[in-house]
Amino acid sequence: MTVTYRPGHLGLVDLARTGSVGLRTRRMRAALSALGIAIGVASIVAVLGLSASSQAGLLAEIDRLGTNMLTVTPGRDIQGNEVKLPKAAPGMISRIGPVQQVENTGATKARVYRSPLVPALNTNGLKVQATSLNLPATVRTTVAHGAFLNKATATQPTAVLGYDAAKRLGIDRVRTGQRIWLGSQWFYVIGILDKAVLAPEIDASVLVGYPAAERYLNYDGHPTTIYVRSQTEYVNDVHSVLARTANPENPANATVSNPSVALVARAAAESALNGLFLGLGAVALLVGGVGVANTMVISVLERRSEIGLRRALGATRGHIRTQFFSEAVLLAGIGGAVGVLCGVAATVVYASVKGWTVVVPPEAWIGGVGSALAIGAIAGLLPAIRAARMQPTEALRTV
């Protein structure tokens, strides 16, 4: 009676044990090979996570600041000359039913310096603007130091600095007697504003009262930016009539915009640039895959005696192929898992520093691990086939 033995089937536990032999015996080489995979996956996860977190933070900031602010600025005629807004424009806009707040600023030709000894060319890119008195509340900013202008100080040579203007002038707080050289005389600094997210032009401005601007800076009184807050449900309706109301004679020469829409567009533009960083992550992942393939090829050459002995003891070609293939996938999987952890950690740390909500899209970590396993499978396929084709007698000759 002839007894036929059928080769045993490798269970998951046996497969994991045999697949990890090479990793356990050559730890340094395995770690360096997995490092390339980890770097690539970490790059992909971090880029997607930081992009999603920054957009979530920006949208939360927009929701906090409100989407119901509109701005009116002068347009240009066919010769390219700026068409001034009427002095009465803010008052006319305030009569629109759904409008809740109207504030305005007007650009002057004055220049501001820390002292009269500073060369005239060193303007620091700052603007000097006249302002109405409730501007911070309308643009949703606050006074970081000191106080804002009031009816009394608006008539005097006093100024409030925007966030960036204060930094460029080297002024970090309001001190008694703090002065700046504005126009052709000293102005006293009475306040410094926080960042104005919806009105970044305010950040690089030095603000003075309308009466003071007309008295000391030869300001003509025409507003250059009007900030309008309306009831949220009527924003589109107000937008449609704002130009005609602000400049009835030349409505085509009044530009109306919604800053929150511009911020959303900026977020979309920033996300478009993520393709570059994802490409760099993919390159790192590819390099890691080459490292895995190299490690597996060398592992096959160094372990010919092991392959021959296992074949002599009854292991089939399928067993050998599965062993080396699973080893490559396991190596890449470890690298992918480490990369995901590193990418998530980078996202958490950076988002926390920036004050954003931490968001790691599922496609980031699923795609990271999945791409790592795919790279490992592709990288380990050829070495696994090569190991399986090795004849036992040929392999044992190397012992």
- What are 138-164's pLDDT values in tens digits? 999 999 999 999 999 999 999 999 999
Tell me the range of 185-199, 340-354, 359-373 where mean pLDDT is highest.
Answer: 185-199
Q: What pLDDT does residue 392 have?
A: 65
CA 1 to chain centre: 75
Residue in this structure with the two tokens 């390219």, named with its chain if needed: 80
Which one has a higher pLDDT value, 375 or 272?
375
Structure tokens at 95: 């009569």
What is the Cα–Cα distance from 40 to 34, expressed in whole angstroms?
10
195 has a pLDDT exceeding 90: yes
Q: What pLDDT does residue 193 have?
A: 96
CA 94 to chain centre: 37
Full-model pTM: 0.60
Residues with Cβ within 8 Å of 72's Cβ and at least 6 positions away in sequence, in order, are: 85, 89, 93, 225, 226, 228, 242, 243, 246, 254, 255, 256
Tell me the range of 180-184, 264-268, 319-323, 386-390 where mean pLDDT is highest.
Answer: 180-184
Structure tokens at 367: 């795609």
216 has a pLDDT exceeding 50: yes
Q: What pLDDT does residue 3 have?
A: 44
Question: C-alpha distances in angstroms, 52 versus 56, 284, 338, 364?
Answer: 6, 22, 21, 10
Residue 396 binned pLDDT confidence (cut-offs 50, 70, 90): low
Q: What pLDDT does residue 43 have?
A: 79
Q: Would you list the DSSP string of 226-271?
A: EEEEE-GGGHHHHHHHHHHHH-SS-GGGEEEE-HHHHHHHHHHHHH
179 has a pLDDT exceeding 90: yes
Count the neighbouring beta carbons within 10 Å of the beta carbon of residue 216.
Answer: 20
Q: What pLDDT does residue 57 have?
A: 74
Using alpha carbons, select from 87, 93, 86 the residue that is nearest to residue 227. Answer: 93
Contact of 89 with 244, CB cutoff 8 Å: no
Instruction: Determine which of 1-15, 36-50, 119-133 has the lowest per-residue pLDDT on average.
Output: 1-15
Structure tokens at 224: 């250059």
| Average pLDDT estimate for 255-277 | 63
Contact of 154 with 186, CB cutoff 8 Å: no
Contact of 213 with 108, CB cutoff 8 Å: yes
Tell me the range of 64-73, 82-91, 126-135, 314-323 where mean pLDDT is highest.
Answer: 126-135
Contact of 327 with 19, CB cutoff 8 Å: yes
107 has a pLDDT exceeding 80: yes
Q: What pLDDT does residue 285 have?
A: 65
Q: What pLDDT does residue 257 have?
A: 84
Instruction: Determine which of 210-219, 293-302, 376-385 has the lowest per-residue pLDDT on average.
Output: 293-302
363 has a pLDDT exceeding 70: yes
Q: What pLDDT does residue 213 have?
A: 95
3-state secondary structure string, 38-83? Answer: HHHHHHHHHHHHHHHHHHHHHHHHHHHHCCCEEEEEECECCCCCEC
Specify the amino acid at residue 157: P
| Average pLDDT estimate for 311-322 | 70
Q: What pLDDT does residue 1 have?
A: 47
Percent of the chain with pLDDT over 90: 33
| Average pLDDT estimate for 263-284 | 59
Percent of the chain with pLDDT over 70: 74
Q: What pLDDT does residue 316 have?
A: 72
Which one has a higher pLDDT value, 244 or 370?
244
Instruction: Determine which of 36-40, 188-192, 292-296, 374-378 has the lowest per-residue pLDDT on average.
Output: 292-296
What is the Cα–Cα distance from 104 to 123, expressed in whole angstroms?
23
Contact of 49 with 344, CB cutoff 8 Å: yes
Instruction: Determine which of 153-162, 167-176, 286-295, 336-345 has the lowest per-residue pLDDT on average.
Output: 286-295
Q: What pLDDT does residue 394 have?
A: 63
Residues with Cβ within 8 Å of 69's Cβ and at least 6 positions away in sequence, in order, are: 138, 139, 140, 198, 227, 228, 229, 258, 259, 260
Residue 361 binned pLDDT confidence (cut-offs 50, 70, 90): confident
With 0-12 / 13-18 / 19 or more C-beta atoms within 10 angstroms meaning exposed / middle / buried, residue 230 is: buried
